[in-house]
Amino acid sequence: MPLLTQSTFRRHVLAVCVAFGAAMGLSCSEQRTRLVIYSPHGREMLSEYERMYEEANPHVDVTWYPMGAEVGIERLRGEKNNPQADLWWGGPSTLFEQAAREGLLAPYHPSWRAAAPPGSFDGEGLWYSTFQTVKVIGFNSDRLTDQTAPQDWDELLDKRWAGKVIIRSPMESGTMKSVFAAMVYRFFAEDGNPDRGYDWLGRLDANTKAYAASPATLMLMIGRQEGLVTLWDLTDILLQKREQNVPMGFVIPKSGALVLNEGIAVVNGAPHRIEAERFYEFVTTKTALLHQADRFYRIPARKDISEQEKPEWLRSIQITELPVDWNVINAHREAWMQYWDQHIKAHR
């Protein structure tokens, strides 16, 4: 008997499902477990892992909702007494720490917990880091080069870039909230006063043409040369350049790129807890992480992946990390961003 391909196998399973469901008066969708995932990871990766998981588990209907990390935590807060999601996959660890404190996450220690570096997980297992995300200076490569684009964070304040900066709206983006808070922290760390940091954000705002409502809008505006430079995620810049032909380049800031841990967690009270744990394991195996690194430009956080195993693009990039104290940033981030929203952006 010839071997079945994955697609043929899936058709056989669905045929059995249809036949059995007809006999029982049920549809296939009624018999499948609906696994709900909140994630900012992008349609490309989410669609691929939906397909891969459903092929391996035909009884599951993976349903993902794309949303920024800030929107994600707000959804979890609003649904705390009646959880709708099973898994939260993606977003800066600063938000996962906040969600853990608010009782929004359930403990789960993955099978690879021994490979998690210090500082990349919650001690009670409420979240673990899957990737590191690197925040860089992005630019339109049709107009600028890695030599003519801004070389460091402070260069974004130069009058040369007035009206040429476009930024993802920070209040809806956990990533940008963390970037802005880190910029304030650089000054706060010296004297315990955020005022010089607020001044920095005010000068950046003066150079900013627009705040994009979504990552897709940000890429579209930079691609159309509505603006030339931005502060954004290295992974998304590389992915959009390849998948959507967006003319984008990047610069690792001289003083250091901002490096954040990206989390994953089971939602407290998840309707399908066991399936959530299975999906969690499925997308965080060593094989899966290397696939995500190669296909979607993710940077694995696990310490058991050697340099030789990493894809060429990752081995070729030298990343200098901006030194920050995340405990201090986490303690002040919301207050700093509230000030930005009420006293800087509101006065545009």
Distance CA 184, CA 177 (A): 11
> What domains appear along the chain, each with residue ranges and CATH number?
6-132+260-315 (3.40.190.10), 133-257+319-347 (3.40.190.10)
pLDDT of residue 30: 59
pLDDT tens, position by position, 4-30:
333 333 444 344 343 434 343 444 445
pLDDT tens, position by position, 42-75:
899 999 999 999 999 999 999 999 998 999 999 9
Query: Which three-class secondary structure state does DSSP give residue 285?
Result: coil
Query: Which three-class secondary structure state does DSSP give residue 253?
Result: coil
* Under-70 pLDDT residues of the chain: 1-30
pTM of the model: 0.84
pLDDT of residue 11: 42
pLDDT of residue 315: 95
Contact residues for 222 (Cβ-Cβ < 8 A; gap 6+) = 138, 139, 140, 166, 228, 230, 246, 248
233 bridge partner residues: 135
pLDDT tens, position by position, 117-148:
999 999 999 999 999 999 999 999 999 999 99
pLDDT of residue 187: 98
